[in-house]
Amino acid sequence: MDYAMYTDKGNAMVHGIVVAAKYKGLSWGEVYDMLITISEIDGYGEATDTAVRECVYSALNVKTNFYI
C-alpha cells in the first residue's frame, strides 16, 4: 500500500500503524501521535507530511468535521 512515504520501508511502517489502529480502534489523535513519533526516526521524517496524513486518514475511513 502506498502512503506517500519516500520508501517502501516507510510505507510498510505506516501500513503497520494503519493495521494496528483499525484492530485496536484507535482515534485519529492516537494515530497522529504515532506518526509524529516515527517522523522523529531518521528516514521517516515525512510521516507527518500532509500527503501521508491524508493517505492514512483515508485508509482509516475517519469521519470528522475538521481538517487534518
At 28, the amino acid letter reads W
Q: pTM to 2 decimals?
A: 0.88
Using a pLDDT cut of 90, give the percent of the chain over it.
87
Summarised one tens digit per residue, pLDDT across range 32-45 is: 999 999 999 999 99
Summarised one tens digit per residue, pLDDT across range 54-67 is: 999 999 997 765 55
Report the C-alpha gap between 63 and 23 in whole angstroms.
17
The dihedral formed by the CA atoms of 64, 20, 41 and 62, expressed in degrees to the nearest 10: -10
Residue 23 has pLDDT above 80, yes or no: yes
